[in-house]
Chain A
Amino acid sequence: MTAAAALDKTPALERPAGFRPSRAVREALAGSLFATPAVVLLLATILAPLIALVVLSFTDYELGAVDVRWLGGDNYRQALGDPVFRRAVSNTLLYVALVLPGGILLGLLAALAVHGRKKSRGFYETAYFLPVTATLIAMAAVWQFLLHPRIGPVNAVLKAVGLPEQAFLSEPSLLIPTLAFIGLWNVVGFNMVLFLAGLSGIPKDLYDAAEVDGAGGSVDRFLTVTWPMLAPTTLFVAVTTSITAFKVFDTVAVLTGGKNGTEVLLYAIYLEGFQYFKMGYAAALTVIFLLFLLVFSVFQAVKLDRRVHYT
């Protein structure tokens, strides 16, 4: 916005003919010009929608409705009191709580194990990263088949080894954990790659120093060098993992359709806004969703602070 406005103010064009604008003016002109498409799109696709969203969240607007009433905070009050929405929030948080520690721990373990491999590293990197690139919605369909109560191979294995078969995709208490397992399967390779990058950034002479200092055992090496040196990476992984987990949608859409008490935040928003067209209410839910994301992002700002001491 400001850049575009500044462009108008730039007096260069009004100068008498033959005048060559100063270096600084030309630079400002070029800069404003270069930034203009981005500024326009930023306004049109992020800022204006955001403002509209917040305004909308205080109204009872429904798509196609003729008159709109100002509700004040009613939408928010309704959301907080709505058992379905509350379940969506608690389901989402449970999902995050399952995926976050598992995603960090498994990603770290995989990275530590793969880091020392030489010949087989490429294979493991590929294997663990494959789920990250695969279209999640298609893989969700595959999981649906794998976990099928009657013809799925997972239950066939359980039966073969004498364990009770499980209704992974219809037993309510198993639904969120099942979704979380698929979420983990999807995110571990991503985290592993981040941790691998972090590991290769640790100076080798620190390990030498630890060895000379008597901290050469594997536990000591990990506690004295690896873990503290990975702290910035770990924080970054934690933030991205929680945000990814918080946005869980695809697997829910395929596997449960939000039924059987598996509402999650985004799916609830999708239903309210784009199936029932209760725009005002969905906008309020979206604002709440955004607030959650902002909380996670605050940790990232903290991370930037900590970086300073590491150089």
Chain B
Amino acid sequence: MRPSKRPGDAARLLRHALVHLCLIAGAVIMLMPFAWMALTSIRAPAEILSGGFWPIPESFHGFKNYETALRIAPFGMFMLNGAIVCAVILIVQLLVAIPAAYALAKLRFPGRGVLFGLIVAGLCVPIQVPALPLYMALAEFKLLDGLFALMVPFFLSVFAIFLLRQTFKAFPDEIIQAARVDGMSEFELLWRVVVPSAGPAVAAFSVFSVVAHWNDLYWPMIVIQRLDHAPPPLGMLFFAGSESGSDFGSMMAGAVIVTAPLLLLFLVARRRFVQGITMTGIK
């Protein structure tokens, strides 16, 4: 652009190429584990054990590895558990957070300031903090080792309330007034007028929530003992620690199975993912 600095075409090309070179080198490091995971999952055990870094498998051994993985660990059940847990958590989170966020954004009610203060404070309390007392309470009610125990600490998402409150706050008051004048109840007003306009924020939060809870390991590791209630990360941990620990081929096959759903979701909905991240930064 700048005439004086307008370097010769060759120099510009060189600079351009250099940037790309660095970016590609970075991309290789970023993607290498994924590539190796996929490649190893279809390699024969003998070839894996011989070491080396030649990427192309000598023979296709995929069916065997995946079959072994599925035989040793019930990945289908892990995935089903993961799907149920993520879906229920997300639905309850939205059902709880949307009215609360609307109340905080647009309605005057006693204690609003205190509640909002607690929500903001709650933002810096991760699950690991209340984990101990929650565990004891669940043990008391004999609820450990079940899907409910997996989900209950996450029903309230202070982050969802915070994010949606910011979104609802930007919703024009005039429209709300107009809807009230038209005789809409607050409940109708919220779900039929305000929420439809918050689509991007809800979608962004949904992505955020599903990713977080599909990938969470800490809490499942605490409350789940029996494999038949394990979500994918816990299943993976069990698998990696079990006797198959040296059978890297099927272990990689397991890793592929566990990571594939979110990776595919990401490739399909990259914009939403990025939006979800960016929204966390715009406060």
A–B touch (CB < 8 A): the answer is yes
Is A53 on the interface with B (CB-CB < 8 A)? yes
Give CA–CA (A173, B107) in the complex, Å: 57
CB neighbours (8 Å) of A224 from chain B are none
A280 nearest in chain B by CB position: B132
Query: Contact between B27 and A128 (Cβ–Cβ < 8 Å)?
Result: yes
B103 contacts partner chain A, Cβ-Cβ < 8 Å: yes
Whole-angstrom distance between the alpha carbons of A262 and B222 in the complex?
A: 20
Which residues, 85 to 136 on B, are CB-close (under 8 Å) to A? 95-97, 99-100, 102-104, 107-112, 114-115, 118-119, 122-126, 128-136
Scoring B33, B50, B158 by chain A CB atoms within 10 A of each residue's CB, the highest score goes to B33
Given contacts A138-B259, A151-B48, A253-B221, contact A197 B109 (CB under 8 A): no
A22 interfacial contact with B, CB 8 Å:
no
Q: Given known contacts A27-B109, A133-B263, A279-B132, is B156 in contact with A38 (CB within 8 Å)?
A: yes
Say yes or no: is A98 at the interface (Cβ < 8 Å to chain B).
Answer: no
The answer to whether A194 and B111 touch across the interface, beta carbons within 8 angstroms, is no
Contact assessment for B133 and A30 in the assembled complex, using a CB-CB cutoff below 8 Å:
no
Are A49 and B133 also in contact (CB < 8 A) when A130-B263, A133-B262, A139-B33 are? yes
Question: Least Cβ distance of B237 to chain A in Å?
Answer: 6
Q: Is B278 an interface residue (CB 8 A)?
A: yes
CB contact list, A1-25 vs B, under 8 A: 1-3, 5-6, 9, 24
Interface size on A, residues (CB 8 A): 110
Q: How far is the CB of B160 from chain A (nearest CB, A)?
A: 10
Kindly report which residue of chain A lies nearest to residue B155, judged by CB atoms: A41
* Nearest CB on A from B120, distance (A): 10
Q: Interface residues of B: mostly helix, strand, loop or mixed? A: helix
How many residue pairs link A and B with beta carbons under 8 A? The number is 308
CB of B192 closer than 8 Å to a CB of A: no
* CA of A127 to CA of B51, assembled, Å: 26
Q: Say whether chain A's binding surface is mostly helix, strand, loop, or mixed.
A: helix
Q: Is B31 on the interface with A (CB-CB < 8 A)?
A: yes
Tell whether A247 is near chain B: CB-to-CB under 8 Å: yes
Q: Which residues, 36 to 54 on A, are CB-close (under 8 Å) to B?
A: 37-39, 41-42, 45-50, 52-53
Q: Is there an interface contact between A113 and B233, defined as CB atoms closer than 8 Å? A: no
Which residues on A are within 8 Å of B, measured CB to CB?
1-3, 5-6, 9, 24, 27-35, 37-39, 41-42, 45-50, 52-53, 56, 63, 106, 110, 113-114, 116-117, 120, 122-146, 148, 150-157, 160, 185, 188-190, 193-194, 197-198, 211, 216-217, 233, 236-237, 240, 243, 247, 249-250, 253-254, 266, 269-270, 273-274, 279, 282-283, 286, 289-290, 293-294, 296-297, 304
Chain A to chain B: the 7 pairs with minimum beta-carbon distance, closest first: A31-B109, A2-B111, A49-B130, A31-B107, A38-B100, A41-B156, A6-B110
Which residues of B approach A to under 8 Å, CB–CB?
A: 2, 5, 19-20, 22-23, 26-27, 29-34, 36-37, 40, 48-53, 95-97, 99-100, 102-104, 107-112, 114-115, 118-119, 122-126, 128-137, 139, 152-153, 155-156, 158, 161, 186-187, 190, 211, 214-215, 217-218, 221-222, 232-233, 236-237, 239-241, 248, 251-252, 254-255, 258-259, 262-263, 265-267, 270, 273-274, 277-278, 280-283
